[in-house]
């Protein structure tokens, strides 16, 4: 039975751990974590989730980009489970844009990220997948990947003035005509 799990909030120690590499995704423990990650993410309007966010310190993450009130400009994409993901930057520079996090409710901040990355991960079928991600998806990947290394997006904020309340973010989005 899958269940919506409680999302670890900033301050929870599990968000600060180096997550362990997954050896056997078919094990009942891993299968239950994966199913609960999908169920928990679907219960939110987030575009990604990492296993540590449901207090499971494993190198597992899901990217599920879809437009929503929270991310009006997000591209549509089938949810993908990534096992033991890795990436390298293809862009030299980083660009700042808004991020939020289910583990840090109520705020948004501008975070510098690589705009083009090459990612490698194992999928559920055990295949090694290599893909290039750009812009929003690249940003979501780097955000979730940080969770596997005990980092949250606030760690990457360059200036406290880049942090704003979610209600102000909503106003900003409304006034800028969506983008
Ligand atoms: Zn997050």
State the catalytic residue, choosing from 21, 29, 127, 144.
144
Checking if the pLDDT of 68 tops 80, the result is no
Give the whole-number percent of the chain exceeding pLDDT 70.
98
DSSP β-bridge partners for residue 60: 83
CA distances from 140 to 23, 29, 61, 71, 124 (A): 24, 26, 10, 11, 20
Which residue did the predictor score with more confidence, 74 or 59? 59
What is d(CA 63, CA 72) in angstroms, rounded to the nearest whole number?
16
Give residue 49 CA to ligand 1 midpoint distance, Å: 7
Give residue 142 CA to ligand 1 midpoint distance, Å: 10
What is d(CA 179, CA 175) in angstroms, rounded to the nearest whole number?
9
What pLDDT shows up at residue 177? 60
What is d(CA 106, CA 7) in angstroms, rounded to the nearest whole number?
14
Q: How many residues does the chain have?
A: 179
Closest alpha carbon to 115 in 80, 87, 76: 87
What number is the average pLDDT over the span 106-116?
97
Give residue 151 CA to ligand 1 midpoint distance, Å: 9
Give residue 104 CA to ligand 1 midpoint distance, Å: 7
Is 144 known to be catalytic? yes
What is d(CA 140, CA 99) in angstroms, rounded to the nearest whole number?
9
Q: What is the per-residue pLDDT across 143-179, written as a single tens digit (0 to 9) for each?
A: 999 999 999 999 999 999 999 999 999 999 888 764 4
Closest alpha carbon to 86 in 16, 150, 142: 142
CATH architecture, domain 13-175: Alpha-Beta Complex (3.90)
Arithmetic mean of pLDDT over the chain:
94
CB-based contacts of 25, cutoff 8 Å, min separation 6:
31, 34, 83, 122, 124, 126
Lowest mean pLDDT among 48-52, 96-100, 170-174: 170-174
Verdict on whether the full-model pTM lies above 0.85: yes
Residue 14: band (very low, low, confident or very high) from pLDDT cuts 50, 70, 90: very high
Q: Cα dihedral angle (12, 7, 145, 76), rounded to 10 degrees? A: -160
Residue 88: how many CB atoms within 10 A of its CB?
Answer: 9
């Amino acid at each position: 039975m899958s269940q919506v799990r409680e999302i670890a909030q900033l301050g929870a120690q599990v968000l600060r751990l180096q997550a362990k590499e997954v050896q056997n995704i078919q094990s009942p423990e891993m299968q239950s974590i994966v199913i609960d990650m999908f169920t928990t993410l679907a219960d939110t309007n987030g575009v990604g989730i990492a296993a540590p966010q449901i207090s499971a310190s494993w190198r597992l993450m899901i990217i599920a980009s879809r437009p929503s009130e929270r991310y009006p400009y997000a591209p549509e994409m089938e949810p993908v489970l990534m096992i033991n993901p890795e990436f390298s930057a293809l862009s030299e520079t980083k660009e700042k844009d808004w991020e939020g996090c289910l583990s840090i409710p109520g705020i948004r901040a501008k975070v510098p990220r690589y705009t083009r990355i090459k990612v490698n991960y194992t999928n559920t079928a055990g295949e090694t997948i290599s893909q290039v991600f750009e812009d929003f998806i690249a940003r979501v990947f780097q955000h979730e990947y940080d969770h596997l290394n005990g980092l949250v997006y606030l760690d990457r904020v360059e200036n406290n003035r880049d942090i704003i309340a979610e209600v102000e973010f909503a106003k900003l989005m409304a006034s800028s005509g969506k983008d």
